[in-house]
Chain A
């Protein structure tokens, strides 16, 4: 079964209670499907994902652009950090 990896940063790490995890890959996981999948796995991510950005293999991905997760991809969930 092919996989892909999700990396969680800052508040996403707290919500998912994990720094990263391996998920089963299937075809057609776009930004919206990925969001649904992650919220299903970690309901606490719901709020965080509304203001986070995605990066795939260390490259920024537009939420409204057409892209789908490929096997072996590393998807990063990056919420803004505002503290200082």
Chain B
């Protein structure tokens, strides 16, 4: 009996040792991977245009054949398509939600040269969709981080980092040095810039976009098909454009569109799609029909960019043309003079002195549900003008001269809300909004208040 139990204990110890050894080995591998990442990081250098042309090869090396074997044995792909891919260069503009999947799949598939344009830095609030970056790279240049991920995935792919904001002064030579351009950007101005530069440079433009639960995919300026301006000649007014930061986006949605962009770029590089008519693919994540394909026409003869008599023959000022900047950052609104507004510190004093007032929060309900200041009343800006909303505000006022303070996420929506309540003459007291909104409240007053 005694013998049996000591035997049992020894067995248990051996089992634990084996477990620890396995764990140790896994940790060693992780250390090695991190070391490799560090050395690769040092190797990824920004390259200033002009680039030397991509050196073409007539055959793949043995290690390339081993790596791409699953594609090489595909009857509809094979060695010729793989060689075409190896001998082509693709420029991906944007290493965000669309670029994340697109860049990884293009790099993994064996594109010869992969250029990456982005001037932003890695931010944890974007990692839900920008899965090519990671937590440890917070603050690192996104173009560098994306190139690093590709090098770790496939050292055969020649990555080129363009850590810059693309504009009309620098875009043309960069675009001219690639075979295919992928539009994975997040703003209207850069979309028109890329379209025009691709028409001028004669490059196919694989354009993708995503917001909330919807995505779009089109190849522009390819085999007689339309350009972006043929379909959308007028840029939407800046105030009607929603970005991911304000509208929200489910991370996997740009991921899906980015995968489709990688696929289309591969099909162009390997001439798989030369018979296909131009189309636009619409992706709706929560519709019963997730994918719809719209048949497009040929380019428009009267298009000012790609038509028979184009009036745009060189790049223009796209920030001016679109009335919005070449980023997806929400600009600050200056509708009401600063001295007529309330600072975070000012509102803190009102709370501390228990001054009677009504705090109106004009964010959408879905945002109000995340976090809100105590005893605030939530009426979204878009509903504020409704008679029942005005009634609701009036009901909450305890005196005719009770001040109303208005707060939102960034201090933008709160300004038109002030104007609406002023027009309604809702109180004889102050109607003011809080500068910088709840975001600034977290930064200046209460670091424990959630920021999103």
Interface residues, chain A, with chain B CB atoms under 8 Å away: 9-11, 13, 19, 47-48, 50-51, 53, 55, 58-60, 62, 76, 78-84
Residues of B within 8 A of A78 (CB): 216, 280, 282, 294
Contact B294 A10 (CB under 8 A): no
Contact A11 B287 (CB under 8 A): no
Tell me if B63 counts as interface (CB < 8 A to partner A): no
A82's contact among B97, B188, B292, by CB below 8 Å, is which?
B188
A11-B242, A51-B234, A59-B294 known; A81 and B210 CB under 8 Å?
Answer: yes
A60's contact among B188, B231, B242, B287, by CB below 8 Å, is which?
B231
Contact A80 B232 (CB under 8 A): yes
**How many angstroms between the C-alpha atoms of A59 and B295 in the bound complex?**
5
The 4 closest A-B pairs by CB, nearest first: A83-B211, A84-B186, A81-B209, A84-B98
Residues of A within 8 A of B282 (CB): 9, 76, 78
Residues of B within 8 A of A62 (CB): 297, 300
Residues of A within 8 A of B50 (CB): none
Tally B residues with Cβ within 8 Å of A.
45
Contact B210 A83 (CB under 8 A): yes
Residues of B within 8 A of A47 (CB): 236-237, 240
Residues of B within 8 A of A80 (CB): 188, 191, 209, 216, 231-232, 236
Contact A83 B209 (CB under 8 A): yes
Tell me if B254 counts as interface (CB < 8 A to partner A): yes
A80-B232, A84-B254 known; A55 and B240 CB under 8 Å?
Answer: no
Residues of A within 8 A of B296 (CB): 60
Tell me if B215 counts as interface (CB < 8 A to partner A): yes
Tell me if B170 counts as interface (CB < 8 A to partner A): no
Minimum CB–CB distance for B88 against chain A, Å: 23
Tell me if B71 counts as interface (CB < 8 A to partner A): no
Q: List 24 A-B contacts (CB under 8 A).
A: A9-B214, A10-B214, A11-B240, A47-B240, A48-B240, A50-B236, A51-B234, A51-B236, A55-B294, A58-B293, A58-B295, A59-B294, A59-B295, A60-B296, A62-B300, A78-B216, A78-B282, A80-B191, A80-B231, A81-B211, A83-B243, A83-B249, A84-B186, A84-B328
**How many angstroms between the C-alpha atoms of A83 and B187 in the bound complex?**
6
**How many angstroms between the C-alpha atoms of A81 and B328 in the bound complex?**
13
- Please provide the chain B residues from 292 to 336 with a CB less than 8 Å away from any CB of chain A in the complex: 292-297, 300, 328
**How many angstroms between the C-alpha atoms of A55 and B17 in the bound complex?**
67
Contact B236 A60 (CB under 8 A): no
Closest A residue by C-beta to B245? A83
Tell me if B115 counts as interface (CB < 8 A to partner A): no
B211's contact among A10, A48, A53, A59, by CB below 8 Å, is which?
A10
A81's contact among B215, B234, B287, by CB below 8 Å, is which?
B215
Residues of A within 8 A of B287 (CB): 19
Residues of A within 8 A of B300 (CB): 62
Minimum CB–CB distance for B265 against chain A, Å: 15
Closest B residue by C-beta to A80? B232
Tell me if B132 counts as interface (CB < 8 A to partner A): no
**How many angstroms between the C-alpha atoms of A1 and B294 in the bound complex?**
28
Tell me if B110 counts as interface (CB < 8 A to partner A): no
A9-B284, A19-B287, A83-B243 known; A58 and B297 CB under 8 Å?
Answer: no
A10-B211, A84-B94, A84-B98 known; A79 and B236 CB under 8 Å?
Answer: yes
**How many angstroms between the C-alpha atoms of A50 and B240 in the bound complex?**
11
A53-B232, A78-B282 known; A58 and B214 CB under 8 Å?
Answer: no
Minimum CB–CB distance for B218 against chain A, Å: 10
- Please provide the chain B residues from 225 to 271 with a CB less than 8 Å away from any CB of chain A in the complex: 231-232, 234-237, 240-244, 247, 249, 254
Tell me if B83 counts as interface (CB < 8 A to partner A): no
**How many angstroms between the C-alpha atoms of A48 and B241 in the bound complex?**
10
Other A-B pairs beyond A47-B236, A50-B234, A83-B211, 7, CB < 8 Å? A10-B211, A10-B212, A58-B293, A79-B236, A81-B215, A83-B209, A83-B244
Minimum CB–CB distance for A39 against chain B, Å: 15
